[in-house]
Chains A and B, each alone.
Chain A
Amino acid sequence: PRRTCRRAHSPGAAPAMNCRAEVLEVSVEGRQVEEAMLAVLHTVLLHRSTGKFHYKKEGTYSIGTVGTQDVDCDFIDFAYVRVSSEELDRALRKAVGEFKDALRNSGSDGMGQISLEFYQKKKSRWPFSDECIPWELWTIKVNVVNLANEQERQICREKVGEKLCEKIINIVEVMNRHEYLPKMPTQSEVDNVFDTSLKDVQPYLYKISYQITDSLGTSVTTTMRRLIKDTLAL
């Protein structure tokens, strides 16, 4: 039975003190938004997913195998590696698709940000609901540019490709710091740390949300939160 997870901090506020926060910025053309976001999100999730755990007796567990695959971008001179999981890919595409639509429809200057947050659930006693404690937050700030002609678009393809290469290197640098990771859970705790709903891989519990910046540059005109990971009780 799923429990409501109340946020450990209020929406829009800074994350908790021990939550690592990384911010990446990209400027892209409208049609490049989806691929650029997917590239970054998939690269982060590649590092933050393991194989499925199989608990055995005596409290030990074995881990399944994570496959990977290359993805070529159509609108950017770029390729990235993602985890071989169609479910995970679908979930990310859904979130990124909504973000892209919101960007397009907002009528703003085309600025927004999409966030990927990793959290742990902490069980509380009744009547309090479980807490969600974030431990890592990735924010990608997006600036959509409009280009006048084909030549500019071609240059943009290459430039954005190069920028994404830099972002991948940045992500890997962060991952390499080997900073806080939730401790490996026992069988009863595994759902508080990992998303065990996928059939082939097991990412850490995560949420994706986004915000569109209005033309005045204020951080929130309408805060639209789309929870991809359903943590609400039905």
Chain B
Amino acid sequence: AMDTDLSSQDRKDLDKFIKFFALKTVQVIVQARLGEKICTRSSSSPTGSDWFNLAIKDIPEVTHEAKKALAGQLPAVGRSMCVEISLKTSEGDSMELEIWCLEMNEKCDKEIKVSYTVYNRLSLLLKSLLAITRVTPAYRLSRKQGHEYVILYRIYFGEVQLSGLGEGFQTVRVGTVGTPVGTITLSCAYRINLAFMSTRQFERTPPIMGIIIDHFVDRPYPSSSPMHPCNYRAGEDNGAVYPSVEDSQEVCTTSFSTSPPSQCVFTVTKAHFQTPPPVVTDTLKVPVMGLAFSHQLSSSRLSYQPAALGVGSADMGYPILFAGGLNAAHPHQLIGPGKEGGVPPIPSQPAHGTQADQERICTPLDGVHYSAATPSSSEDTETVSNSSEGKCGSPHDLLETIFIRKVGAFVNKPINQVTMANLDIPFAMFAPKNVELEDNDPMVNPPDSPETESPLQGSLHSEGSSGSSTGNTHDDFVMIDFKPAFSKDDILPMDLGTFYREFQNPPQLSSLSIDIGAQSMAEDLDSLPEKLAVHEKNVKEFDAFVETLQ
């Protein structure tokens, strides 16, 4: 009756349900913000590995981040799991859009049956989450992301922080499930005021920069709400053993973004991470981002790099680019899939999941560059087979990431000259580096394009090129961000800007050239008498013709 404590088996089951519910919640939310349509297949034969009887794909990195944030804990009173969805423009402005909160309160329902009712209600709650994630304003924003902005996520565990949502934010409740240990609540607080701040405003008021940086590095300002570091351990509380997580750097959070078709496949070797913590500059400018993006898009669009992360769409072809605060111990992967992309071989998926993979919109892939498959598999196995929960392996150190950059049309430097000195900030390759690197970076300093006749071509080089070894004559020109009106860096291989650049110096029409014109006139005059003679011969025919017209 009321005083009966939860049996230990029920308790174990309940903890497991809550843990996997939290992981699936994160998957649903993040997948709903990738900008693509999600499709999974129903299967009448149960495989026993689809939690809550729902086909929800597990993106390995997302599970990894969620587990990292939870650090072996479960949502409890005062300790909520939050998924923050934010938007970041190509100019570097960022804004929080939504906070999804999975909370636990003290109201217990002791009578409820764990293995049956709680499980089914959690399943229902996930269905509600699927529905609600499509009706908040951020869904439509995320479907249109790619060129001007990307959508990022951040998972944290602890106190809910809603201050970044601006004034008048609204809340929607997804649902609640009562359990014998408390009531699980899932809700979303979302921003109403979507006014953007321009980059210029940011330069004038440096303290606000902290908000942008917060997404990727530790919050430097004491006024911000306290944040738990990623390796937060509550071992003191109950003495449980948690997976060993190496000490994080100042970087505490990670973000995941879906970026426009950038053709770079980034994987970072662990060696690169032996760098000192990044200096927090007062303006986290990414000044060349805009230009770099458009160049990158136009130059390398012709060859797409495969690799997606389990959720892809053949018609949109948006890659899943991982940018984010990088923990030296957990080198991140940055992968840019392309149009012919698809899924890397997701290892150890349950048989049912594999079916789901094949039925999805994305096309299969050879996944050559996806090097971190192996460690993730152990995570996946743990996730889906729900056996041996006590396994505390730390596959993180096995995660190996290698930086490769796909060569684009404007690049004439060999790949290995690209160095990433500082990988602890997102989009590191676009961040301001020291001058030397900037000169060598083909993204900043594109070499001469094939047609160099027009002075306008030269203007596409940056001012900083005066120090470069090319000794080009274009020093006097200032870099222009060449954006023809109405042009969009589209998925089509040839956008207006490219077209214009390539065809702005066409040869003269031959008929307009004076020499040729004069020549043909002389010919015409010479041939006139001949033509007149012919017509005279046929005069009778012409007359007859005219008669018929009367």
Contacts and interface: CB of A to CB of B under 8 A. Distances in A.
A47 B124 contact: yes
B172 A169 contact: yes
A70 B35 CA distance: 11
Interface string A175-186: 110100000100
Contact of A70 (B39, B43, B128): B39
A68 B175 contact: no
Contact of A65 (B42, B121, B173, B176): B42
Interface in A38-82: 43, 46-47, 50-52, 54, 62-70, 72, 77, 79-81
A47 B39 contact: no
B479 interface: no
Contacts of A164: 135
Interface string B140-153: 10010000000000
A209 B45 CA distance: 32
B360 to A, nearest CB: 10
Interface of A: 43, 46-47, 50-52, 54, 62-70, 72, 77, 79-81, 83-85, 164-165, 168-169, 171-173, 175-176, 178, 184, 199-201
Contact of A172 (B44, B131, B352): B131
A75 B177 CA distance: 36
B37 A77 contact: no
A46 to B, nearest CB: 5
Contacts of B175: 172, 175-176
14 contacts: A47-B128, A50-B53, A62-B46, A64-B44, A65-B46, A65-B50, A65-B53, A66-B54, A67-B356, A79-B37, A80-B131, A169-B172, A178-B177, A201-B44
Interface residues of B, number: 39
Given A65-B55, A80-B131, A173-B173, A200 B43 contact: yes
Given A172-B174, A172-B175, A67 B131 contact: no
B87 to A, nearest CB: 18
B224 interface: no
A75 to B, nearest CB: 16
Given A51-B53, A65-B352, A70 B38 contact: yes
B332 to A, nearest CB: 28
A39 B309 CA distance: 29
A56 to B, nearest CB: 11
B48 interface: yes
B37 A46 contact: no
Nearest to A173: B173
A67 B46 contact: no
Contacts of B177: 178
A85 B42 contact: yes
A175 B177 CA distance: 11
B358 to A, nearest CB: 12
A51 B46 contact: yes
A184 B113 CA distance: 13
A79 B55 CA distance: 19
A51 B42 contact: yes
B128 A51 contact: no
A25 to B, nearest CB: 18
B124 A175 contact: yes
B139 A79 contact: yes
B53 A81 contact: no
A100 B360 CA distance: 32
Nearest to B48: A62
B127 A47 contact: yes
Given A169-B172, A178-B121, A51 B44 contact: yes
Contacts of A172: 128, 131-132, 174-175
A51 B66 CA distance: 27
Contacts of A43: 131
B40 A169 contact: no
A168 B130 CA distance: 11
A85 B176 CA distance: 27
A69 to B, nearest CB: 4
B131 A84 contact: no
Nearest to A77: B140
Contacts of B55: 65-68, 84
Contact of B41 (A47, A54, A67, A175): A67
A173 to B, nearest CB: 7
Given A51-B53, A62-B48, A84 B140 contact: no
9 smallest CB-CB distances across A and B, nearest first, come from A176-B175, A165-B135, A70-B37, A69-B39, A67-B40, A67-B55, A200-B42, A67-B42, A52-B44
A67 B358 CA distance: 13
Contact of A46 (B39, B46, B131): B131
Contacts of A51: 42-44, 46, 53
Interface in B32-88: 37-48, 50, 53-55
Contacts of B143: 79
A69 B173 CA distance: 22
A22 B420 CA distance: 59
Nearest to A169: B172
A221 B126 CA distance: 42
